[in-house]
Structure 1
Amino acid sequence: MPIPHPQVRHYTAYIDEAGDEGIGKLAAGPSGGQSRWLVLGACIVTRENDLKLPVWRDKILARFPKKKTPDLHFRDLKHEQKIVACQEIAAMPVAACITLSHKVTIVGTKWEPVFKKKNYLYNYLIRWLLERVTAFCQSDARGTPCSLKVVFSRRANTDYQTMKDYLILMRDGLEVMRPVRSIRWNVLDVENIVVENHSRWAGLQIADVITSAFFLGVEPNAYGNYEHSYGKILRARLLQDHRSNCLNSGFTPVPGFGKCATDDQQMEYFLHFGAPR
Structure 2
Amino acid sequence: MINYVAYIDEAGDEGFGKLATTNSGGQSRWLIIGACVVTREDDLRLPSLRDSISARLARRQREIHFRDLKHAQKVVACQEIAKFPLKICVTLSHKITLPGSSYEATFKKRGYLYNYLVRWLLERVTTSCANDAGFESCSLRLVFSRRANTDYQTMKDYLILMRDGRELMRPVRSINWKVLDVDNISVENHSKWAGLQIADCITSAFFQAVEPNAYGNYEPAYANLLRGCVMRPPQGGSALNVGVVPVPSFVKCQADDAQLAFFKSFTQ
Distance in 1 between the 2:195 and 2:109 partners? 30
Match of 1:5? Answer: none
| Structure 2 residue matching 1:272: 3-state secondary structure | helix
Of residues 102, 106, 109, the one that matches 1:110 is 102
Query: What value does the CA root-mean-square deviation take over the aligned residues?
Result: 0.8
Offset at 1:70?
2.3
**Would you say the 8 A contact 2:50–2:62 is kept in 1?**
no
| Structure 2 residue matching 1:273: 3-state secondary structure | helix
Q: How many residues align?
A: 267
Of structures 1 and 2, the larger Rg is shown by: 1
Offset at 1:30?
4.0
TM-score if structure 1 supplies the norm length? 0.95
Name the amino acid aligned to 2:48: V
Offset at 1:69?
3.0
Distance in 2 between the 1:120 and 1:96 partners? 23
Match of 1:157? Answer: 149
Match of 1:14? Answer: 7
Offset at 1:96?
0.5
Distance in 1 between the 2:119 and 2:136 partners? 24
Match of 1:4? Answer: none
Match of 2:192? Answer: 200
Offset at 1:68?
3.8
Of residues 215, 227, 251, the one that matches 1:223 is 215
Distance in 2 between the 1:185 and 1:262 partners? 33
Offset at 1:219?
0.3
Structure 1, unmatched stretches of 5+, are 1-7
Distance in 2 between the 1:246 and 1:89 partners? 18
Match of 1:128? Answer: 120
**Would you say the 8 A contact 2:46–2:194 is kept in 1?**
yes
Runs of 4+ with deviation above 4 angstroms: none
Match of 2:239? Answer: 246
* Identity across matched positions, percent: 64
Match of 2:205? Answer: 213
**Would you say the 8 A contact 2:206–2:222 is kept in 1?**
yes
Of residues 23, 28, 39, the one that matches 1:35 is 28
Match of 1:170? Answer: 162
**Would you say the 8 A contact 1:218–1:226 is kept in 2?**
yes
**Would you say the 8 A contact 1:99–1:128 is kept in 2?**
yes
TM-score if structure 2 supplies the norm length? 0.98
